[in-house]
Structure 1
């Protein structure tokens, strides 16, 4: 995990993307953000870059390649899996089967997007602060 790496945000809703970016600006985290509309575009980027992102925030339901399908591809690809990029789901909807499926593929978290801006800010701060303090096999 590269604590100075980019934060990958996979989100197809423009309003949610705008709100997330506002939160990151307010929190003044130094990590750049890269936004992708769907899992397919994010996968293409991750397969083609040598950059080591800090973490991935992914919606569940998206066109082309959804978040659960993307997580499965990353989890089963040895090269990408060894990069130790924390993969967190961040979705407006939640159901038990999606959460079970996410954790069965070693997702590191499943969060429901808060409706209120302040709650969204607090959740993002909590997530980023946690992963900044967390040790990973590849950050020694």
Structure 2
């Protein structure tokens, strides 16, 4: 079983990034956290292009839908159509404020691994992140990295 060791967060909200850091800070074993703030950088990071040439491959992506330059749906579509099988099967958790059923359906149509709506209350937000962290850390099996 491949353990969850590295997480890529694709999020443009600094407050959400800090809340994610807080919720992941007490993880045993430690999870390395990489952050990019828009979709174009997410793809460059995952493809190890340009300034991200030396980036480590994440085990899981946490993806917001509402991003500048390239939205989350476009990122998800590009990953699922990529020639690199490692990117096509990379687990992606959509983590967004949306509660729209069409957004949920579209995310799953694009093969998101899960869709989680961001709670607005601080403690609920932390509890939600910790719950999906525990699922991906202790329950789910991740694809082997190449």
> What TM-score do the two structures reach when normalised by structure 1?
0.87
What's the Cα RMSD here?
2.2
Aligned in 2, Cα 1:62/1:75: closer, same or farther, shift over 3 Å?
A: same
Structure 2: distance between partners of 1:131 and 1:102: 18
| Structure-2 separation of matches of 1:119 and 1:13 | 18
The unaligned stretches of length 5 or more in structure 1 are none
Tell me, yes or no, if the aligned pair for 2:59 and 2:142 is still in contact at 8 Å.
Answer: no
Return the alpha-carbon distance in structure 2 between the equivalents of residues 129 and 135 of structure 1.
12
Q: TM-score, normalised by structure 2?
A: 0.83
Deviations 1:42-76 (A, max 9, x none): 11010015733121111101111111100000001
CA distance in 2, matches of 1:39, 1:2: 26
Matched, 1:11 2:16: no
The runs of at least 4 consecutive aligned structure 1 residues that moved more than 6 Å come to none
- 1:30 maps to what in 2? 30
The answer to whether the aligner puts 1:86 opposite 2:94 as a matched pair is no
